[in-house]
Structure 1
Amino acid sequence: MKQNITQYIWYPLLVAIGYIGLFSYSNAGEVRDRVEDRGYLRCGVVKTTFLSKSPIDDMGRELCRGLALALFPDPSAVKLITLNESNAGRNLAEGKVDVIALADNRLLSHQEHHQNIATLFLNNLDVAILFKGYRVDDLNGKKICSLEWVDKTSLAIFSQKHQVSFGVVSYKSEGELFKAVKSHGCRAVALPRVEQSIFLQKISGIFPDPLVLSSSSSNNSLGMIVSSRDVDWKEIVQFYAHTLLDSERWDINSQNVDYIASTTLNPEVQKLLGVKGSFGTELGLDSNWSYRVLQRYGNYQEIYERHFVNGTITLERGPNKLVANGGVLAVN
């Protein structure tokens, strides 16, 4: 870094105003330089509070490895760091992680200079009416069960939308919720889509045919969270995430990427795969980074299905489709 007299003139002033900007971890290009000098990516994954093993966590880890493969020709060049909502923002602000995969920026602490630069999963609230034959009107005056950490704002909107009035009982743990449902103490259960799907599997012997209503009023947008101060790093992570979506749009997957790379005449696809142009070098990466990622991990659809359509859980994509297919995931 260049040393000159200017910084010595300004230094006392910075001290006087409380070191404004002096301790910001991520000036333009700094994160990318630190990652390169270190030789590996530090990627945070926020641990969910509901499940001991969550497909969201697993997908986040895979996204971390994919980003590492984009940066280095080695998916193991990454240190996965487990975080929680209370410390994730602080870890990012202090540079202890370079990026957080699949988190809701609104729920993180120290979020002033954080930004979700690529939404890759929506985990909206679902309301499951448990008793067969019951409809929304049957919730009037009844009890909906949930968990303490679930945002209840969308339930109020759900109530207003369907013109029903109900009480909400929040439990501390999944075990307590399960006991309440097992004793028929809940007319319905309100949980985010992934947690709801897994929970309904667990109670399928008691309530085999619930009516599940999706809420679109509370977008729990999980994405790649980075410091908003570092433009270069934001661009790299954003292009990585959008490549996963854009390759699905072009029907490029892990099985056909070799063939398409060698035969395509489409200039957009050639640029996407690094066949022509300087797409990689403009980002400070090599020209084969996107091809490398797609060959190993595939496009967004392949990643989604590995974690959410795998025998353990079967979750329809719903809002997690591309915009062109009726969903909300978009390449900007």
Structure 2
Amino acid sequence: MTFSKWGTAAIALGLIPFALPAQAAGGKTLDAVKARGVLQCTGHDGSYLGFAEVDDKGKWKGMDIDLCRAMATAVFGDPEKLKIVPISWAQRWPSLQSGEVDIIIKASGGTLSRNTDLGLQFSSSYYLGTTKVMAHKELNLKSLKDANGGTICIPAGTSQEQQVAAYTQKLGIKLEPVLIEKTEELEQAYFSKRCDLYAQWGPTLAIARVAKGKVEDHVILPDVLAVEPEVMIMRQGDDNWVNIANWMLTTLIFAEQEGITSKNVDEIKAKPTSPQVAKFLGVAPGMGKGLGLSDDWAYNVIKKVGNYGEIFDRDMGKDSPYKMDRDLTNLWNNGGVLFPLVID
């Protein structure tokens, strides 16, 4: 199944929320975070390689973690003013609704029921991935239709459950689901051959094969069960907080588009290349007031966390063990669908 660049871009565009203008003083979530002195951002309850994992020094790393760090930097100017709260997939929404966390950044998709039934609100998409299925090569499957009657490992409490059910019904086949919440246990079940198949987000499957050192023993089937834009998720009723998340993401993408990196940001700030860049880096006023942030918040984010490309490269791309291609999650002018909102 193929997607045209602009067709997929339309999907991404369709999920961009346009919130009401923020009050200059900021919203209630921002005020609460500032008063607490630390951002509480959801973490994964185990390794989700490339997105959230713990290094050999006991520190969290990954794309989702770096987005949490970028949010903390936007608010405080310091990526360390952050508490990663390990939460299971099923407990994401209760933890957000109860105020245990301020924002969910956990490879989560924006769905109608999460919006209308659970009262959640979404940012723009920060990663566009597909749901796919991996199979043991020895089964000699050409597509999912050949797997009728088999067993399939699925992460419990995620949208993949519904996606597998809908897709298998469409194909007219039956699969026995094995639902496991923790990623490590799910992968153990598949790689130990408890399951014939493993349904997951495409990037997770690709990373799992590499991490296990068994690329040749497993095949990712050509079926695309769904395209899911991953979003940052917040409680409804605080448009200012949603605006901050969206402009934080735009900051990362805009900086990459303009060639502004953590290494050259000071040089460009000293001699901005345009009025837009001057405002972006806090040389000219206006970047922070309407959000309740300082005017140099975007500069701090790029200086201390990096632009989108830097984050991707170190967490999942060429500077990581996984060497993943950016594919659709690339800039609009480089074959992908990512684009910044307009800084004027």
Alpha-carbon shift at residue 63 of structure 1 (Å): 1.6
Aligned match of 2:94: 90
Unaligned runs of 5+ in 1: 1-27
Alpha-carbon spacing, 1:141–1:237, altered in 2? closer, same or farther (3 Å): closer
Alpha-carbon shift at residue 278 of structure 1 (Å): 1.0
Distance 1:203 1:213 in 2: 21
Alpha-carbon spacing, 1:112–1:140, altered in 2? closer, same or farther (3 Å): closer
Q: Aligned partner of 1:54: which letter?
A: L
Alpha-carbon spacing, 1:329–1:159, altered in 2? closer, same or farther (3 Å): farther
* Residues matched between the structures, number: 295
Distance 2:294 2:177 in 1: 50
1:109-131 deviations in whole A, cap 9, x for unaligned?
A: 99632111132123421234654
Distance 2:115 2:285 in 1: 40
1:192-219 deviations in whole A, cap 9, x for unaligned?
A: 123211332356548357355362x523
Distance 2:221 2:271 in 1: 45
User: Within the alignment, does 1:327 sit opposite 2:343 as a pair?
Assistant: no
Alpha-carbon spacing, 1:316–1:85, altered in 2? closer, same or farther (3 Å): same
Alpha-carbon shift at residue 302 of structure 1 (Å): 0.9
Alpha-carbon spacing, 1:114–1:199, altered in 2? closer, same or farther (3 Å): same
Aligned match of 2:293: 285
Aligned match of 1:116: 122
Contact 1:144 1:167 in 2 (8 A): no
Unaligned runs of 5+ in 2: 1-25, 53-61, 181-185
Q: Aligned partner of 1:313: which letter?
A: Y
User: Within the alignment, does 1:210 sit opposite 2:223 as a pair?
Assistant: no
Query: What TM-score does the superposition give when structure 1 sets the normalisation length?
Result: 0.75
Contact 1:93 1:110 in 2 (8 A): no
Contact 1:128 1:213 in 2 (8 A): no
Contact 1:86 1:109 in 2 (8 A): no
* Aligned CA-pair RMSD: 3.2
Contact 2:40 2:85 in 1 (8 A): yes
User: Within the alignment, does 1:262 sit opposite 2:270 as a pair?
Assistant: yes
Alpha-carbon shift at residue 178 of structure 1 (Å): 1.4
Q: Aligned partner of 2:199: which letter?
A: A
Distance 2:187 2:252 in 1: 33
Alpha-carbon shift at residue 314 of structure 1 (Å): 2.4
Q: Aligned partner of 2:49: which letter?
A: S
Alpha-carbon shift at residue 53 of structure 1 (Å): 5.0
Alpha-carbon spacing, 1:86–1:206, altered in 2? closer, same or farther (3 Å): closer
Alpha-carbon shift at residue 229 of structure 1 (Å): 0.6
Higher Cα Rg, which structure: 1
Alpha-carbon spacing, 1:101–1:203, altered in 2? closer, same or farther (3 Å): closer
Q: Aligned partner of 1:224: which letter?
A: M
User: Within the alignment, does 1:104 sit opposite 2:116 as a pair?
Assistant: no
What is the 5 A alignment of 1:201-240?
Answer: 201=210, 204-205=213-214, 207-208=216-217, 210=219, 212-213=221-222, 215=224, 218-240=226-248
Contact 2:149 2:176 in 1 (8 A): no
User: Within the alignment, does 1:196 sit opposite 2:200 as a pair?
Assistant: no
Distance 2:162 2:149 in 1: 18
Aligned match of 2:154: 147
Aligned match of 1:25: none
